[in-house]
A and B are shown apart, each in its own frame.
Chain A
Amino acid sequence: MKTWKNILLWVLPLVIAIASLGIGRFEVDFVTVVKILGSHIFPIEATWTQMEYNVVMTVRLPRIILALLIGAGLSISGAAFQGMFANPLVSADILGVAAGAGFGASIGILLFGNGYVTQGLALIFGLAAIGFTYVIGGSGRNMPIFMLVLAGVVTSALFNALISLTKFVADPEEKLPAITYWLMGSLGTASYRDLWTAGPIILVGMLILLALRWRINLLTLPDEEAKSLGINVTRLKWLVIAGATLCTAAAVAVAGIVGWVGLIIPHIARMFVGSNNERVLPVSIALGGAYLLLIDTLARSVTAAEIPLSILTAIVGAPFFAYLLRRTGGSWS
């Protein structure tokens, strides 16, 4: 029974991925999609048109892999932060990472247009934001967690103000819509280049967090109690922050700001497997990937124009979260 659930969990994202390779304004049927993918491993006779091949392999595949990776990365970092802050209501945004990366991308678009520079700036400012948060939060040993959260609020406020400033000075015909649209989150321009730049970073972040997943349980305890279990609390916190920030900043660099995923998916994971992060983190990867892929497929196929991701994740996420709050009364077990 348990193994079945596990298999289902990991098969689910794959099935959704193959299905959504065929979905879109140019439809490709399921069998053809499987054949096109299979032709890279087995010698299968080409029964598909070049057009179908291009749509599946060049246009949709990188986007779909990115959606899986970003969903997974945001979810696992959300789960890690919730454990580390011993607070089930925080997510990667709490440290100001998203706002920082958003500002980096905004000035990138404003000054350089889209491209590598924008992504690089998003990454750099995401990391800068976390450094900033850490310094205000009382840097160094024995940082109290509420200080870090408050520092995150301050950092977010500052970078959001700077984002507003870039929007204010941006050319309203061209740059302003680009910045605004980018801030709402989209995978519309995803390419293999994005995949090769962001993918490895997200994977490294995920591997760090996965390796530490049992130890994150210990971080949910008060600091001194955790220390009395013989672990180096400060070093462990730094490692978790590093892993989660890599995931988040790389995701923001490619897809813009995608809200709600990192907050909600870990909760759903906990509903399935309980509170032990040894299981919550891997399950968050599978569910988060599947969820964002589903959202992204909706975003590009429901209407003729693409719907920004954050709008959909909020429309789906907010009511669900409200339901969760009502049902549990704010206590998770």
Chain B
Amino acid sequence: MTGTQLPLDPAERSSIIRDGLAVGLATGAYGISFGALSVTAGLDVLQTCALSLLLFTGASQFALVGVVASGGAPLSGALTALLLGSRNTLYGLRLAPLLDWHGWRRMTAAHLVIDESTAMSVNRESTSAARVGFLSTGLAVFVLWNLATLGGALAGTALGDPRTFGLDAAVGGAFLALLWPRLTSVLNRVVGVAAVALALGLVPVTTAGVPVLAAAVVAVVVGAASDRSPGRGARRRKGRHR
């Protein structure tokens, strides 16, 4: 789909911007929990803020911090973060023809390619509407996410021993909340259960950080294998309808 260059009606424009700001506010709340959990994991306030500024992709940031919290090497945390960040590449593929930006504009916009900005722009009918949706959501989330991270990190530092407030348990809850919307198909649930089993099996025999990285193998193996069964079935079904 390539966007058309129609001028955007002002009412539609302000409604898109309003939606973007609302999404920014909602993700801000989630930034507070990231900031607090990151300092709980042992990172300092500056490192926590650097993660939100430089990575600017929530699940990857939580993953890096989670691996460090469980005693893993920061570099295996970084690798886990990159694997999770790979989904932004696919978002970019869908956004590129729609946003139609080149040169420095594309280089700058790339940093704002996240779940929320994609969701708020990928279904627009014109390039101008997609750009407004992408920029308003991306910038609102960027500003509020970073402010919230700082606030959460300062609050987390002030709390003292995190175990008293159950903050170590909050990390598991945060990952579950990120995973929950993805558990829509049987295949995804099977992958989830297999990944937990593999990771827990490896905990006693490998250094921390490795069990989580190893779980990526489950995604690769199942992704490659599922071509044979459901994929072919789906194609057959599609063929019948034709």
Q: Do A and B come from one complex?
A: no
